[in-house]
Amino acid sequence: MTQSLAGKVAFVAGASRGIGATVAKSLAEAGAAVAVAARSEQRGKLPGTISSVADDIVATGGRAIPVPCDVTSEESVNAAVAATVAEFGGIDILVANAGVLWLGPVESTPLKRWQLCLDVNLTGVFLATKAVIPHVRERGGGSLIAVTTTGVNMIDQGANAYWVSKAAAERLYLGLAADLRADNIAVNCLSPSRVVLTEGWQAGGGGFEIPPEMVEPPEAMGTAAVWLAGQDASGITGTIQRSEELAT
């Protein structure tokens, strides 16, 4: 499955490592100019920075800029979006990928962990989406993508802050698709079909052992994101997509 994004501009939140970095590179390979947005300006406990990802894209012939962005801060998000528009002239694509992981049971979840999941995984999606909508509308249409998780549907496995926050993000995007249809903006959710063993998962997966057959290569998310990024409201919109199903 191939898709050309030549002439498009993508803003990828949470792009300094893991799925976000893979998606940013895949969008650039398809021809998009990419704003690599995240808090990670300097390497911390986990590898990857916005500059290292942007440099990798540029080194392979793509166009990218590193954009500092804390998705829990409206001021920071607005500044990051403004910097992107100033550099590339607009925004056609949003990938709202920034996320934090907490899979502990409800009764042992500290309030600050619950709130952090909501702040990053839900409010962060809201703020990034709110900020880019006017710019995508100005371009005559485009694509908004929220990265979620198959865990939303795993209710037989109990509850946790991560799955709850991602479920709320899915509801936000499913409703937003109807709101933005007249603006020719596609709005979709994308989740891995299986588990992508990102740096964030390794750090916050709660010790879950993942069988090899349940592990998904991150490239599947990149391929699926490129396809969704090429949509507008005349194509796929108002859906929850699984990476490996869409990428085949």
Query: What is the per-residue pLDDT across 24-81, written as a single tens digit (0 to 9) for each?
Result: 999 999 999 999 999 977 666 667 899 999 999 999 999 999 999 999 999 999 999 9
Burial class (CB in 10 A: 0-12, 13-18, 19+), 202: exposed
Q: Tokens 């007249």: give the residue.
A: 182
Average per-residue pLDDT in the chain? Answer: 90
- Identify the CATH number of the domain defined by range 9-246: 3.40.50.720
Instruction: Give 183-195 pLDDT, tens digit per residue.
Output: 999 999 999 876 6
Contact 81, 93 (CB under 8 A): no
Position 101 scores a pLDDT of 87
Over 60: is that where the pLDDT of 207 sits? Answer: no
Q: Which residues are catalytic?
A: 162
Four-residue CA torsion sign, 30, 96, 14, 148: negative
Over 60: is that where the pLDDT of 152 sits? Answer: yes
Mean local confidence (pLDDT), 138-166: 93
Instruction: Give 208-221 pLDDT, tens digit per residue.
Output: 666 665 666 778 89
Angle at 138 between CA 132 and CA 139, to 5 degrees: 95
Position 40 scores a pLDDT of 76
Over 60: is that where the pLDDT of 201 sits? Answer: no
Here the tokens at position 46 are 């986990």
Position 125 scores a pLDDT of 98
Q: What is the pTM of this model?
A: 0.91
